[in-house]
Amino acid sequence: MQATALIAEDEILLAADLRAELSRLWPDLRILATVGDGAAAVTQALALQPDLLFLDIRMPGMSGLEAAQVLAEDWPAGGKPFPLVVFVTAFDNYALHAFEQAAADYILKPVQPERLAKACTRLQAALAQRAQSPASDATLAQLRTLLGAGSPLAPASGSSQPLKVIQASAGSTITMVPVAEVLYFEADDKYVRVVTAGGGQHWIRLSLRELQARLDPQVFWQVHRGTIVRADAIVTATRDDAGKITLTLRGSDDKVGVSRLYADLFKGM
């Protein structure tokens, strides 16, 4: 079967060079589309369902990492396997270690033909292996590792100690919310909603990714790109006929959805 790919790169000349080199090194690879931003990458990838994604990390609006996360969560269940992701990056060697551990491959800018040739060989082998064995969630697990708070791509917390108390302000009042009382955090536009037992709610002006870097990963689990849940507050994880997982929490009537990117956290022991 002919492999297919989508390229997301905001620099027109670099995108053209990458497409030309791929055509030379891998004549049978069919480039379905070339887009210039993360949002377009998500739209086109969901519509075209390529085998490979070449994602620039730094693009206007949604980054390559954010696009990969959205795609992993919105990818149709029961269809084609999630694409192998190749990140195109200008990060330094320290950050590249994360890509080596948690991506199908990465390409450092400016793209060198010899390095791209090695990537093509690796990708061809991975696609062949995938065709011979049942699809797994390995690609999704790798992405989750890359997106986690331990990644050098995550913002530094400024402290090695997990957050103990959250200061939530409302007007002229600051409420001190013990982290031990928090059931889950949910992204809400420019804020994060902090939900405690009994239906208590507070809002903090902080991104979920910044907050995640300051939480104990053994205590709080990310279950969706917009939700982090206290693990020991989870009572049940129920999977419906479509494979969607919903959590119930101790001390709350709320139901929390789990995206497929994080579904293997609930495989059972």
* Rounded Cα–Cα distance for residues 185 and 194 (Å): 5
Residue 182's pLDDT is what? 96
Domain assignment present for residue 169? The answer is yes
* Rounded Cα–Cα distance for residues 66 and 143 (Å): 11
- DSSP letter string, 143-194: HHHHHSTTSTTSPP-S-SSPP-EEEEEETTEEEEEEGGGEEEEEEETTEEEE
Query: What angle do helix axes 138-147 and 64-74 make, rounded to 10 degrees?
Result: 140
Residue 150's pLDDT is what? 42
**In degrees, to the nearest 5, what angle opens at C-alpha 8 toward C-alphas 47 and 192?**
80
Residue 1's pLDDT is what? 66
Residue 17's pLDDT is what? 95
Are residue 105 and residue 43 in the same domain, yes or no? yes
CATH number at residue 72: 3.40.50.2300
Residue 102's pLDDT is what? 56
Are residue 79 and residue 205 in the same domain, yes or no? no
Residue 153's pLDDT is what? 45
Residue 99's pLDDT is what? 63
Are residue 97 and residue 169 in the same domain, yes or no? no
Number of structural domains, the chain?
2
Are residue 214 and residue 132 in the same domain, yes or no? no
Domain assignment present for residue 155? The answer is no
Residue 155's pLDDT is what? 45
* Rounded Cα–Cα distance for residues 117 and 103 (Å): 17
Domain assignment present for residue 237? The answer is yes
- pTM, entire model: 0.73
H helix and E strand count, the chain: 7, 15
Range of the domain at 210: 165-266
Are residue 206 and residue 82 in the same domain, yes or no? no
Domain assignment present for residue 21? The answer is yes
Q: Residue 98: how many CB atoms within 10 A of its CB?
A: 21
CATH number at residue 219: 2.40.50.1020
Query: Chain centroid to CA 249: how far?
Result: 24
Are residue 142 and residue 250 in the same domain, yes or no? no
Residue 154's pLDDT is what? 47
Q: Is 4 helix (H, G, I), strand (E, B) or coil?
A: strand
Residues 6+ away with beta carbon under 8 Å from 136 = none
Residue 27's pLDDT is what? 96
Segment-wise mean pLDDT, segments of 10 residues, the chain, 269 residues: 93 94 96 96 96 92 88 82 88 59 75 93 90 67 63 48 90 92 92 91 89 90 93 94 90 92 79
